[in-house]
A and B are shown apart, each in its own frame.
Chain A
């Protein structure tokens, strides 16, 4: 019974944004025709599509490079973010010592950090992974901490009446309660990891969409630049979708409950 409902939910959720996107592209195409604008400044969508179709392997090859940087950086960021969330929740002295630095770390301009990383590690993948991780860990650590501390204290009391120890309370109550929060942080991080990878490539790379973007922009291949932007956006949406899919598999109860509410 639920399957049908969810399927219908899926269609009604994807149709409006799809129509909106098609509308914008159609308007854009018309606009360039009506105003007879210079395609080097403002290429019509058909030119952009042609740019991609001319040499899809160029985009796909570089997208792969960027995707690997994103996924690796995100992975490192997630591990560090969750670990920090746990530490900050469970150790008061650590919380006092570390928390302000977490916030300060986010005020540092990422391109500046990326530049330093390139002088340290060269054009390898490492600086990109670090930049993505630097961007990704923060929302994850904040949301993990949030999730761990916002547990219903009466649920913990209930566990204590069973004679539960700290480990059992952690496993049965704190972790499952925190998971939806952790996933929220991971979705934010996934969306931002595109940005991190592009920044990382801009300061020094031999491949990747960010690198390609610089080259095409320098030679004023505006249609190619737009094609790259489209591929980058697709990459970000796919990564976000992947995390959402994993979320649905790991915490199905969270969605069953929400469906019940509406």
Chain B
């Protein structure tokens, strides 16, 4: 993928070959600015790649827009809609009757522990609650394929760990295939069946980790030797190339 502007052309993604199967949890791990969000924008159909092809459920090109539930880096809850109306939005746009969509939204909010906030406005929610509401909206819009762009990036560590467990529960109860972006190595390994580690810009896949650890995976799984070996491999690849400049090898002055 190249971005062209009057300033020149920037290559962002190169030779990307990524796939997600039915009910798989796949993470994309890469340094900041390498093109992860761009990759998702392409998959979701918001932009077309300058080269290459994306197929979602057999649909490629403009046919794929509206097929994936896409949770962007910012929660993008609309301040003028109540939480329930925000969560129902995808369905309403897709032509469900408003009341039916709102009922479905209430139900999912109940399950996500946000039932009593259904009629509040988003600004009355905490950061973690906003993320859960945004996830609920994404699930309701498209239950099969979910693109989650650093959904927990802005949360504190404790909330983040809780949200990971919660997301795993939600995913296991569903049929969804999830593609998940994160900066956080632990998060990627704990959650995923497979992790694609990307290089600096222009991003390509540095290594693919097949994470074979059993589920369910509690918090403590990060302390096991098996986890450590996956983490070492991921870090090795993240810290090669230009990334090493900012890596931990840098001596402190």
- Nearest residue (CB) in B for A172 is B89
A254 to B80, CA, bound (A): 7
**Would A172 and B123 count as touching, CB distance under 8 A?**
no
Complex interface: chain A residues within 8 A of B30 (CB): none
Complex interface: chain B residues within 8 A of A256 (CB): 121, 123-124
**Would A163 and B46 count as touching, CB distance under 8 A?**
no
A161 to B74, CA, bound (A): 15
Q: Verify if A54 is at the interface (C-beta below 8 Å from B).
A: no
Q: For chain B, residues 53 to 99, give those with C-beta under 8 angstroms from any C-beta of chain A.
A: 65-66, 68-70, 72, 74, 76, 78-81, 89-90, 92-94
**Would A163 and B72 count as touching, CB distance under 8 A?**
no
A44 to B45, CA, bound (A): 73
Q: Verify if B44 is at the interface (C-beta below 8 Å from A).
A: yes
Picked from A152, A162, A257, the residue with its CB within 8 Å of the CB of B66 is A162
Q: Verify if B141 is at the interface (C-beta below 8 Å from A).
A: yes
**Would B79 and A164 count as touching, CB distance under 8 A?**
no
Q: Which secondary structure dominates where chain B touches chain A?
A: loop
**Would B78 and A176 count as touching, CB distance under 8 A?**
yes
Q: For chain A, residues 149 to 182, give those with C-beta under 8 angstroms from any C-beta of chain B.
A: 152, 154-155, 157-164, 168, 172-173, 176-177, 179
**Would A162 and B89 count as touching, CB distance under 8 A?**
yes
Picked from A152, A158, A163, A173, the residue with its CB within 8 Å of the CB of B94 is A163
Q: How many A-B residue pairs have CB under 8 A?
A: 64
- Nearest residue (CB) in A for B134 is A158
A91 to B93, CA, bound (A): 25
Picked from A162, A172, A176, A257, the residue with its CB within 8 Å of the CB of B141 is A162
A145 to B54, CA, bound (A): 37
Picked from A154, A163, A173, A176, the residue with its CB within 8 Å of the CB of B74 is A154
Contact with A along B92-132 (1 / 0, CB 8 A): 11100000000000000000000000000101100000000
**Would B72 and A158 count as touching, CB distance under 8 A?**
yes
Picked from B65, B89, B92, the residue with its CB within 8 Å of the CB of A160 is B65
- Nearest residue (CB) in B for A165 is B93
Q: Verify if A55 is at the interface (C-beta below 8 Å from B).
A: no
A253 to B121, CA, bound (A): 7
Q: Verify if A260 is at the interface (C-beta below 8 Å from B).
A: yes
**Would B65 and A257 count as touching, CB distance under 8 A?**
no
With A159-B89, A159-B93, A253-B121 known, 17 other A-B pairs at CB within 8 A are A155-B76, A157-B72, A158-B70, A158-B72, A158-B76, A160-B45, A160-B65, A162-B94, A163-B65, A168-B93, A172-B78, A173-B78, A176-B80, A176-B81, A251-B80, A256-B124, A261-B123
